[in-house]
Amino acid sequence: MGCQCVSSKNNHSVPQVEPNRSNSFFKNSFNEEKTFPKSHRNLRNSKINIKEKSLEKPNNNSKASTLTSFHKNDRLLTKSDKPIAINSQLVVSNNRENVFKQYKIIKKIGEGSYGVVWKVKHKKTNLIRAMKKIKKKNNKANDETTKDIINEIELLRKLDHPNIVKIFEFFNEPDGYYLITEFCSGGELFDEIKKKKYFPENIAANIMYQIFNAINYCHTFGKIIHRDLKPENILIVNHDEMTGFYRIKIIDFGTAKIYEQNKSENKIIGSSYYIAPEVLHKNYNEKCDIWSVGVILYILLCGRAPFTGHNHNEILSKIKIGNYDLKRKPFDTISIEAKDLIKKCLEMNVNKRISAKEALNHSWFSKNHTKKNFMNIPDYFLQKTIKNIINYKPKNELQELALTYLVHNLPDLYEIQLLNNVFNIFNNSPNSQGKLTKPEIKQALKKYLFKNNKNEHQIEKYSDEIFRHIDIDHNNYIEYEEFARAGIDKNIFRETNVLRFIFDFIDKDHSGEISIDELKEVFKIHSKNGELLLKKLIHSLDQDMNGQISFKEFTDVMIKIIE
Ligand SMILES: Nc1ncnc2c1ncn2[C@@H]1O[C@H](COP(=O)(O)OP(=O)(O)O)[C@@H](O)[C@H]1O
Ligand SMILES: [Mg+2]
């Protein structure tokens, strides 16, 4: 994915991100009729959501618990100390200020079943974001909506993957909930299909690989089913005109759910063209996402939906039968491998249907050199990243928090986009779960640092050290943002505007000093032990002894990570 990154290389400055293309660019350029028959062109975004029972509360048993679970840390802690665990969930805040004080609306970019989505600008930093409002008033299903939005926020907070949209903060206002997420400037994959009609196999493979990667992560790590995968919910981050490759992200976790293994779901949720037959029979599991992905793959390759009709019922009855045409044009020119993958996704028997993990190892991807295309990153950058990772030994929690906030909030930085790709290169074993394992780290050390020379002892030592410092929740995996904060070039802290950006996040009342209360809020500390730790932290950094951390003191501590 290296060459499909970004065109600007303004490395360390906080980007004033503007899209290179607006949605309106795509309007009216495609004959929607051909993909979806004339009579139901308006079925775009046609979400089916038959509530059989009220939504269950999201199950908070996964990574969220790291905030309270025991965490070994050799910095600042005595034996009796409670830990301060730093992960990306800390930097997604429930903002207490009014949303419009902080964000300016630029334009409306979407209107879905739940509310409106705008492109907005963060007034202070000029960063461009997407803002999704879910109305509270005049909504009959008020309680349900509240549950849905809380569900979406909770799930997005847990997900940490390069191909899943990031959430930055949310606001609970009297008239609605406002979700601030990363803005994907290339628009919906839906509009790109309208524009291009269909895609060459290598480009379709590049898109599909990223979708399967994200879904594999959701299914295996998060135990999350998306339930509404469709081209409207797949957004384009950027497009490399030279190679034709796209970088995509999955959005809209409003109908997603944490599922229990071996327990089937029974609520009919999805969108008509993409819904799996077993969902209509109210007995399904995470494999329903694979069906929807199969429909997307079919559309990408031929420009038409596999199951069509004049109305919902006609489409749904065709889905229940499961017949689709692999002989129509241009399938005569499409590879056997592509057709095989479609068949394996659109398999009626759920137990026989391919999983996301298996799909990633399908021969269609090797035939199209998809993995290799993702690996088009200069060797020097891979070596530099490995060295940064080995040297990553943050001296205190503030440095760690600053890096966490940085990699989470500036996904558009050129270097962070490169790190996305490096992560995918390292995360390359057949059993990949969307997070790095020890064998994968060892493999990367061997290949890019030791140039395949045998140095087992040193490799073992480095990989142990890397895990000790990076895998702070001790789950024996390195997740994407854990990796990115270790891998990023720490010289970024020489940029005053970057430091100011982070400082402003912690200095909630904008007094110009970070107080103990602000640290307690940011680190979500409620215990006496935790408070004691923060006091020690302030004491160690507070040069003028006023009990607070000024911007100068903050800068000094951040620069220390480079020394
Ligand atoms: N992060 C984003 N960047 C750019 N456009 C977005 C973003 N989030 C949503 N949109 C636009 O708004 C539409 C609706 O958003 P979505 O979250 O899917 O809401 P709904 O649940 O109503 O479908 C999307 O299909 C897309 O066109
Ligand atoms: Mg949507």
The verdict on residue 10 lying in a domain is: no
Which range among 41-50, 329-338, 367-376, 468-477 has the greatest average pLDDT?
A: 329-338
What are the tokens at 351? 């137990």
* Residues 219-232: tens digit of each pLDDT: 987 789 999 999 99
Please name which ligand lies nearest the alpha carbon of 237: 1
Query: How many alpha carbons lie under 13 Å from residue 15 in its C-beta half-sphere?
Result: 23
What are the tokens at 362? 């399908």
Of 59, 160, 203, which Cα lies nearest the Cα of 435?
A: 160
Q: Is 507 a catalytic residue?
A: no
- The domain spanning residue 304 has which CATH number? 1.10.510.10
CA 80 to chain centre: 36
Enclosing domain of residue 285: 189-373
Ligand 1 contact via 233 beta carbon (within 6 Å): yes
* Residues 145-155: tens digit of each pLDDT: 677 777 778 88
Please give the number of the atom of ligand 1 that sits closest to the Cα of 181. Answer: 1
The pLDDT of residue 367 is 95
Identify the residue with better confidence: 89 or 392: 392
The pLDDT of residue 225 is 94
* Residues 253-275: tens digit of each pLDDT: 888 888 888 888 888 887 889 99
410/474 same-domain check: yes
Of 492, 525, 523, which Cα lies nearest the Cα of 506?
A: 523
128/213 same-domain check: no
Per-residue pLDDT averaged across 115-135, rounded?
Answer: 89
249/353 same-domain check: yes
Helix (H, G, I), strand (E, B) or coil at 266: coil
Count other C-beta atoms under 10 Å from residue 532's C-beta: 16
Which pLDDT band holds residue 407 (cuts at 50, 70, 90)?
confident
Residue 4 has pLDDT above 80, yes or no: no
Per-residue pLDDT averaged across 2-31, rounded?
Answer: 30
427/517 same-domain check: yes
User: How far is the centre of ligand 2, averaged over its atoms, from the C-alpha of 355 (Å)?
Assistant: 23
Q: What are phi and psi of 278, to 5 degrees?
A: -70, -20
Residue 549 has pLDDT above 50, yes or no: yes
Identify the residue with better confidence: 89 or 549: 549
Of 239, 208, 199, 183, which Cα lies nearest the Cα of 18?
A: 183
Q: What percent of the chain has pLDDT over 90?
A: 41
Residue 436 has pLDDT above 60, yes or no: yes
Which range among 126-140, 423-437, 547-561 has the greatest average pLDDT?
A: 547-561
Helix (H, G, I), strand (E, B) or coil at 275: coil
What are the tokens at 231? 């081209």
Query: How many alpha carbons lie under 13 Å from residue 357 in its C-beta half-sphere?
Result: 14
Q: Which residue has the tokens 């906030």?
A: 405
417, amino acid identity: Q
The pLDDT of residue 537 is 86
369/385 same-domain check: no
Please name which ligand lies nearest the alpha carbon of 115: 1
Least confident of 2-11, 424-433, 465-474, 539-548: 2-11
The verdict on residue 5 lying in a domain is: no
What are the tokens at 333? 């020119």
Exactly one of 160, 228, 412, 471 is catalytic; which is it?
A: 228
The verdict on residue 7 lying in a domain is: no
- Residue where one domain finishes, among candidates 308, 338, 373: 373
Which pLDDT band holds residue 34 (cuts at 50, 70, 90)?
low
* Residues 94-106: tens digit of each pLDDT: 666 789 998 999 9
The CA-atom distances, in angstroms, between 30 and each of 33, 194, 208, 248, 283 are: 9, 4, 22, 21, 37
493/546 same-domain check: yes
Pinpoint the alpha helices (H) of 77-200.
99-102, 142-158, 189-196
The pLDDT of residue 145 is 67
Fill in the DSSP letter of residue 535.
H
What are the tokens at 228? 């509404």
Measured between alpha carbons, how far is 441 from 445 in angstroms, rounded to an integer? 6
The pLDDT of residue 334 is 97
Which pLDDT band holds residue 375 (cuts at 50, 70, 90)?
low
Cβ atoms of 48 and 268 closer than 8 Å: yes
The pLDDT of residue 160 is 83
Which pLDDT band holds residue 414 (cuts at 50, 70, 90)?
confident
Model confidence pTM above 0.85? no
- The domain spanning residue 161 has which CATH number? 3.30.200.20
Which pLDDT band holds residue 445 (cuts at 50, 70, 90)?
very high
Which range among 62-71, 284-293, 528-537 has the greatest average pLDDT?
A: 284-293
268/164 same-domain check: no
- Residue where one domain finishes, among candidates 373, 397, 421: 373
Measured between alpha carbons, how far is 165 from 479 in angstroms, rounded to an integer? 15
Neighbouring residues of 93: CB distance < 8 A, sequence distance ≥ 6: 169, 522
Ligand 1 contact via 117 beta carbon (within 6 Å): yes
Instruction: Please count the structural domains in the chain.
Output: 3
User: How far is the centre of ligand 1, averaged over its atoms, from the C-alpha of 182 (Å)?
Assistant: 11
Residue 518 has pLDDT above 80, yes or no: yes
Ligand 1 contact via 19 beta carbon (within 6 Å): no
Helix (H, G, I), strand (E, B) or coil at 177: strand
The verdict on residue 12 lying in a domain is: no
* Residues 171-230: tens digit of each pLDDT: 888 888 899 999 999 999 999 999 999 999 999 999 999 999 999 999 987 789 999 999
- Residue where one domain finishes, among candidates 322, 353, 373: 373
Ligand 1 contact via 132 beta carbon (within 6 Å): yes
Cβ atoms of 315 and 296 closer than 8 Å: no
User: How far is the centre of ligand 2, averaged over its atoms, from the C-alpha of 74 (Å)?
Assistant: 44
Of 556, 554, 557, which Cα lies nearest the Cα of 515?
A: 554
Per-residue pLDDT averaged across 237-253, rounded?
Answer: 91
Q: State the chain's mean pLDDT as an integer.
A: 80
365/391 same-domain check: no
Three-state SS string across 350-409, please? CCCCCCHHHHHCCHHHHHCCHHHHHCCCCHHHHHHHHHHHHCCCCCCHHHHHHHHHHHHH
Measured between alpha carbons, how far is 471 from 448 in angstroms, rounded to an integer? 21
What are the tokens at 561? 């990570």
The CA-atom distances, in angstroms, between 460 and each of 22, 175, 392, 445 are: 49, 55, 17, 10
Specify the residue with its C-alpha closest to ligand 1, atom 9.
Answer: 117
- The domain spanning residue 413 has which CATH number? 1.10.238.10
Please give the number of the atom of ligand 1 that sits closest to the Cα of 113. Answer: 22
The CA-atom distances, in angstroms, between 201 and each of 48, 302, 330 are: 31, 10, 11
Please tell me whether the peptide bond between 200 and the residue prior to it is cis, using omega within 30 degrees of 0: no
Measured between alpha carbons, how far is 210 from 215 in angstroms, rounded to an integer? 9
Per-residue pLDDT averaged across 311-340, rounded?
Answer: 95
Which pLDDT band holds residue 91 (cuts at 50, 70, 90)?
low
Measured between alpha carbons, how far is 384 from 374 in angstroms, rounded to an integer? 18
Neighbouring residues of 456: CB distance < 8 A, sequence distance ≥ 6: none
With the CA atoms of 334, 338, 340 and 341 taken in that order, what torsion angle do they form, in degrees rounded to the nearest 10? -150
264/397 same-domain check: no
User: How far is the centre of ligand 2, averaged over its atoms, from the C-alpha of 146 (Å)?
Assistant: 17
Please give the number of the atom of ligand 1 that sits closest to the Cα of 110. Answer: 12
The pLDDT of residue 281 is 93
173/194 same-domain check: no
Count other C-beta atoms under 10 Å from residue 386's C-beta: 22
Cβ atoms of 225 and 219 closer than 8 Å: yes
The pLDDT of residue 526 is 77
The pLDDT of residue 61 is 31
